Amino acid sequence: MRAALILITLASPATACPTGTEVFSCTIKGKLLRLCHDAGRVTYSFGPAEKPELSLSQPLDTLAFTPWPGIGSDIWETVAFPNQGYTYEVWTSATRDPESTTGLRGGGTVLQGETTVARLTCDPGTPSQSLDVIYELKEAIGQCWDFDSRSWQRVCN
């Protein structure tokens, strides 16, 4: 399934992101939250689609992506972008219950240190896909997730 998600993402129109391919997007009260992948970097942007209010970029190899640990009633992932004492986190979540009608949810959290200063939720029905594709991108550059240390490694067991 992960391979299918990466193929769908890589096949998406180039116009979705100014450069590269779209990894995730949703709208939050009329503003666009978007993650793009290009040349080994993932870029976070938030604001009007034509001129985001904030844009942050991280190399894929150091990108703080936390995949779902495999337990719990929801499948979730997060990715975080640090910037001058703040962290801008993007998350997606879906209920594992096959009878649930909730669908994919997503949003953003802004932290100052450990303190949450803003929690934003994507408008219903607007999350484009889960963040699972970032898992595939990190594997493609030779990284693997170690569940014990909860970190990305270069040497996979």
Supply the pLDDT for residue 102: 77
Cα distance between residue 77 and residue 92, in whole Å = 6
Residue-wise pLDDT for 21-46, tens only, equals 999 999 999 999 999 999 999 999 99
Global confidence as pTM: 0.85
The lowest-confidence range among 60-69, 96-105, 133-142 is 96-105
Cα–Cα distances (Å) from 13 to 10, 34, 46, in that order, read 8, 14, 20
Supply the pLDDT for residue 19: 82
**112 vs 71 pLDDT, higher one:** 112
Average pLDDT for 96-124: 91
Looking at every residue in the chain, the average pLDDT score rounds to 88
Q: What are phi and psi of 51, to 5 degrees?
A: -150, 85
Cα distance between residue 85 and residue 56, in whole Å = 13
Residue-wise pLDDT for 41-99, tens only, equals 999 999 998 899 999 999 999 999 999 998 888 999 999 999 999 999 999 999 988 77
Q: What are phi and psi of 61, to 5 degrees?
A: -70, -25
Q: Strand 54-59 relative to strand 64-66: parallel, antiparallel, unpaired?
A: unpaired
Cα distance between residue 76 and residue 104, in whole Å = 10
